Amino acid sequence: MRICAVTTWPPHREGVALYSSYLYTHMSKMARVDVIANTSLFHASFGNLYPKRHEHGGVRIVRCWCRGNPVYPLKIFRQVLKLKPDVIHVQHGWLLYGGVFSSLLFPVLLLLLRLVGKPYVVTMHTVVRKEACLYKSKLINSLAKAVITIITKAIVKLSSAVIVHNCMIKETLERAYSLEKDGWKIIVIPHGAKEASEKNICLRTDESLHILSLGFVRRRKGIEYLIEAFKKFLVKYPRGTFIVTGGKHAHEKKNPIEEIKWRLPADISEKVVFTNFIDDENLDELIWKSDIIVLYSVEDSFVEASGALARVALFGRPVICSRVPKFWAELRDGQNCVMVEPGDPESLVKALILLANDADLRRRLGENLKNKFKNREWSMVAEQHINLFEKLLENKEL
């Protein structure tokens, strides 16, 4: 089977690019995978390191389209015709292909792909909730949501199948977007989880309490609330250390980290460590060292899956997360996590103190979280994709 994937790809720093690099590397062990990827500023500056065609972990990468370029559907279509795949797999995110205008052109890409005459599957990473408030102006907000509704329905109607990462996304598409009749083609395949590396029993050499926050540092993550809560937490646990790993998202114009560092109170600056982006091996080490992992967000307009949660889940560390759709779609408060209200530092402080005081609770929550994600390793998720593609090629019921 020859699979042609359309997606962003590292060194472009955003969630779908990282997701795709894990997924297609594992899929390439079972099928031929060609990725039609975006060019980037990094690629433009260091073309010798990232040529237009190159191999990565068994995946052939073809870089031919640029985010924000209005002809991206045509460039992708032409490349698909050259590759002559059996199945086409397209990743969709609302700003994945550029700004608002690029999002409007996504159905054009799907219409062009229909001309290829092969099954094509779209993975929808994010679905906008009907009650979302995207703009302050009621008129603009209403217009935006009307356009989003049209595009969302078009994606489902035009595709051979649609992959979503959890049942909440599927239910939102069926009920909020009136796509019940097309529910048969909306398939739930979870976000892949990274298998935990071997634990190094000599990692910890001190008695301080390590708190880890990871993922892209974006304004909607509410990092300022984390800092405020940690400052109050230090009053009771002065040996605490707060580690923030990750950095600027590719779609953010400004780097929030610099502003955060500038506003960081002097009395806790030595207790807050910013690592920026680090490789998998070093991130594994940080996860093992952590006593508590905080996954915080104040964004409740979207239904999606959390890549950061999938990254840490199989390590069995206790997680504090916000009560927003991407977490409550997967987790249960008090069972496999502690949930706190978004934008409320006091509830976060209480959760930190609760877990800091109870090692047994930390252990239980961590084990329950690991059990929840134990059948979601990337190899298993890749196999589920292959099985779906085989059914489409054989014209079997999904």
Q: What is the CATH number of the domain that holds 127?
A: 3.40.50.2000
* Residue 12 shares a structural domain with residue 108: yes
- Going by C-alpha positions, the residue among 16, 86, 82 that lies closest to residue 388 is 86
pLDDT tens, the chain, 398 aa long: 999 999 999 998 899 999 999 999 999 999 999 999 999 654 443 333 344 666 766 899 999 999 999 999 999 999 999 999 999 999 999 999 999 999 999 999 999 999 999 999 999 999 999 999 988 899 999 999 999 999 999 999 999 999 999 999 999 999 999 999 999 999 999 999 999 998 865 555 556 799 999 988 766 667 888 888 999 999 999 889 999 998 777 777 777 777 777 777 777 888 888 898 899 999 999 999 999 999 999 889 999 999 999 999 999 999 999 999 999 999 999 999 999 999 899 999 999 999 999 999 999 999 999 999 999 999 999 999 999 999 999 987 77
Q: Which structural domain, as residue segments, surrounds residue 235? A: 210-372
* Residue 181 shares a structural domain with residue 290: no
* Residue 24 shares a structural domain with residue 62: yes
For the whole prediction, is pTM greater than 0.85? yes
Residue 202 covered by a domain: no
* Residue 276 shares a structural domain with residue 243: yes
Structure tokens at 172: 């939102």
* Residue 151 shares a structural domain with residue 215: no
* Residue 293 shares a structural domain with residue 345: yes
Could you tell me the strand order of the sheet in which 272-276 lies?
272-276, 241-245, 210-214, 292-295, 319-322, 338-340
* Residue 132 shares a structural domain with residue 28: yes
CB 51 within 8 A of CB 61: no
Residue 204 covered by a domain: no
* Residue 107 shares a structural domain with residue 175: yes
The confidence score (pLDDT) of residue 252 equals 74
Per-residue model confidence as pLDDT tens digits over 136-190: 899 999 999 999 999 999 999 999 999 999 999 999 999 999 999 999 999 999 9
Phi, psi of 185 (to 5 degrees): -95, 0
Distance from C-alpha of 70 to C-alpha of 104, rounded to nearest angstrom: 10
* Residue 22 shares a structural domain with residue 131: yes
Distance from C-alpha of 24 to C-alpha of 31, rounded to nearest angstrom: 9
The confidence score (pLDDT) of residue 257 equals 73
CA-based angle 145:133:18, to the nearest 5?
80
Residue 198 covered by a domain: no
* Residue 143 shares a structural domain with residue 56: yes
First to last CA, the chain: 18
For the chain, the domain total comes to 2
Structure tokens at 180: 């019940």
